[in-house]
Amino acid sequence: MANIRILPLVLAMGFTTQAQAANLLDITRDALSHNASLSSSRSLYQSVGDNERIELADLLPQISATGSVSRTDVTKSSISSSSSSSGEGDYTSSSVTVNANQTLFNAADWYELATSKDTTRQQKLLLDSDQQQLLYDVASAYFTILNNRDILDARIAQEKAFSRQMDQANQQFEVGLIAITDVQEAKASYDDARAQRIAAEADLQVSFEALQQLTGQQYDSIDGLEEDLAIEAPMPASRGKWVEMALSNNPLIGAAQKGVDVAKGDVKTSRAGHLPTVGAFATYSYDDNDADITGGYQESNQIGIEASLPIYTGGRTSAQVRQSTHLLEQSQFDLLDQQRSTTQSVRALYSQVRSDVLTVKARKQAIVSSRSALEATRSGYEVGTRNIVDVLDAEQTLYQALADYASSRYTYVLDLLNLRQAAGIIDVNAVRDLNESLKSDRQVSLVLNDEDSEELESTP
């Protein structure tokens, strides 16, 4: 049978001059700098922080000045029984007024300032959560590429093996050793393996594009995971310890707690509507005109203290207090829900990581067992106790075991990162530690060969 065509997507191991290699730490830094969603969260945080200055401004002196200049034309006439008279005149007048106000006591403004500070802290925690989510998303996209690479390796090997098996079946059929049905079985298995390999190529290409979406950068190759990665149970080896870390460090729990503080501040602000406000004021005014009769200027200064006490506001203040109290209750239930959700997530992820450790070991042993079973089946086929379908099934089992083992390792890595995220302890240092397990001599590249490049260029 003719050799399998050159793959449109080539899995290249090692550095190539055209590939721009990157590792997990490099890509993570790109994401922290260029990810659109995280940049949006940063802008929102800065906007919320600016609100503190806005609230503070209400407690600081307020000074304003107004001035005017006007020109007046006067025409007058008068008639009496003895005489009549008329005249014209014009004059210019100007005025300047300066007002200064300073709040002496306004509980609502003080509570609003305190609440704005809590809101800023809450938004900072939400920003931390978004950053931690991005760290996990980048790692997930990165290891999805590596997983798809290993699956493609298995599909390529499987296709080649089935191709050889089909060639062998054709040769045996030509000399009359097997029936045509065996050839057809081999051909069907090869066709299915070829379809799986094509799908694996597409998955690899899509996974590279998913990584580009997170960072806004294009990568031609990335470092691969070392073969002897340590698969160990999570430390500390106590589910309760992980829950304690999560309750203390998870930014979403912290944000929910700050949400309670914000709601408490809103209740205080609403209740302050019943309290008086006191402020000091000072006014300076100057008026001048050059009219013939009344011309001259007038200057005045005024300073004083003004107090205001709301007596009845139509029930608005009481309704606002009730409303903010209900919102406080909602925020407290939201905090409780977030704590319970995080606790359940941490417990499940802890158990999953421990299960992943055993799964990786079992998948590795399955490869050994599947390889032994394939050798035994081939021997049975040669002596006539097994048929070609048994051989094809055994080969399919082996290559599926290879793919499953690869997937189990990446699942372990991502589940462990997800556990750290739920506990609120995933950061760039954790990514840097994981990056030490990547090797530049196992790079994964996505390259189109010359033949396929010409085919793409000729496509309208």
CATH number of 20-72+90-458: 1.20.1600.10
Average pLDDT (429-457) is: 70
DSSP, residue by residue, 231-274: ----SSS-HHHHHHHHHHH-HHHHHHHHHHHHHHHHHHHHHGGG
10-12 β-sheet, strand order: 10-12, 438-447, 221-225, 21-22
Extract the tokens encoding 362: 């079992």
φ/ψ of residue 23, rounded to 5: -110, 180
In terms of residues, how long is the chain?
460
What's the pLDDT score for residue 83? Answer: 54
Relative to beta strand 84-105, strand 277-289 is antiparallel
What's the pLDDT score for residue 108? Answer: 94
What's the predicted TM-score (pTM) here? 0.82
φ/ψ of residue 285, rounded to 5: -135, 145
Extract the tokens encoding 213: 């979406």
pLDDT in tens, 240-281: 999 999 999 999 999 999 999 999 999 999 999 999 999 999
For residues 338 and 253, is the Cβ–Cβ distance under 8 A? yes
For residues 150 and 443, is the Cβ–Cβ distance under 8 A? no
314: alpha, beta or left? (left if phi > 0; alpha if psi -120 to 50): left
Q: Is 81 helix (H, G, I), strand (E, B) or coil?
A: coil
Give the burial string for 418-443 (b: 16+ CB within 10 Å, else e). bbbbbbbbbeeebbeebbeebeeebb
Relative to beta strand 62-79, strand 84-105 is antiparallel
SS3 for 143-207, per residue? HHHHHHHHHHHHHHHHHHHHHHHHHHHHHHHHCCCCCHHHHHHHHHHHHHHHHHHHHHHHHHHHH
For residues 332 and 259, is the Cβ–Cβ distance under 8 A? no
pLDDT in tens, 145-196: 999 999 998 889 888 888 888 888 888 788 887 788 888 888 888 898 899 8
The sign of the torsion formed by the CA atoms of 175, 177, 181, 184 equals negative
Q: What is the mean pLDDT of the chain?
A: 86
Q: Which range, 289-298, 360-369, 445-454, has the best average confidence (pLDDT)? A: 360-369
Residue 427 clears pLDDT 80, i.e. is over it: yes
Interatomic CA distance for residues 413 and 356, integer angstroms: 9
What's the pLDDT score for residue 19? Answer: 42
Interatomic CA distance for residues 55 and 109, integer angstroms: 7
Strand partners, 226: none
Residue 6 clears pLDDT 50, i.e. is over it: no
